[in-house]
Amino acid sequence: MRPQWALYAGEDNMTTELNCKARLEENYRGRMADIRKLWAMYCEDCEASDPDLGRWNEYGLCLDYVAPGTFNGQKRGYIRWQLSTGGPGDEFRFYMDENQNPTRIEYWFLDWFDGASRKLRSGADYRLLCDIFSDWQSCETIKSLIDAD
């Protein structure tokens, strides 16, 4: 059986770093805590700022549309909210129906030659992320990202 501390590329170069699957939940919980905190602050005062996290509108790296076929085997486009990049990086992917409403949300934790994801389909985190997506829709951010493609 393979040890929990894993191989980045899945070969013989062992490292003491945990693989993405082993680190996924802790990183997801941390991200959601940050998002809940900043979103609540933003909803009360759109100029509010946290000394460690900054302002809501400055959180993360980018929001973009990843068109179908961008990656091998990718059949559906999605909105990507990229929070960090490099090693490791993380992002949320919002898959939509024909009316641009989210049907599935995934959290991805990515590191060199490794990655793991978590699907969100219900629950408080899913509802919060849907509210955030709805806010982006209301100011036509989603439409402009898709139209720009």
SS (H, E, C) 8-26: CCCCCCEEEEECHHHHHHH
pLDDT digits (tens, 9 = 90+) for 125-134: 999 999 999 9
Domain boundaries, the chain: 24-147
Are 115 and 20 a contacting pair, CB within 8 Å? yes
pLDDT of residue 4: 39
Give alpha helix (H) positions in the chain: 20-44, 123-138, 141-147
pLDDT at position 10 over 50: no
Enumerate long-range contacts of 131-134, CB under 8 Å, 24 or more apart.
131/39, 132/35, 132/39, 133/79, 133/94, 133/102
* pLDDT tens column, 26-46: 999 999 999 999 999 999 999
Each residue of 41-69: pLDDT tens digit?
999 999 999 999 999 999 999 999 999 99
Asked if 109 and 20 touch (Cβ cutoff 8 Å), the reply is yes
pLDDT at 39: 98
Q: Look at phi and psi of residue 92 and say left if phi exceeds 0, alpha if psi is from -120 to 50, else beta.
A: beta
pTM, two decimals, is: 0.85
Average pLDDT over the chain reads: 89
- pLDDT at position 16 is 60
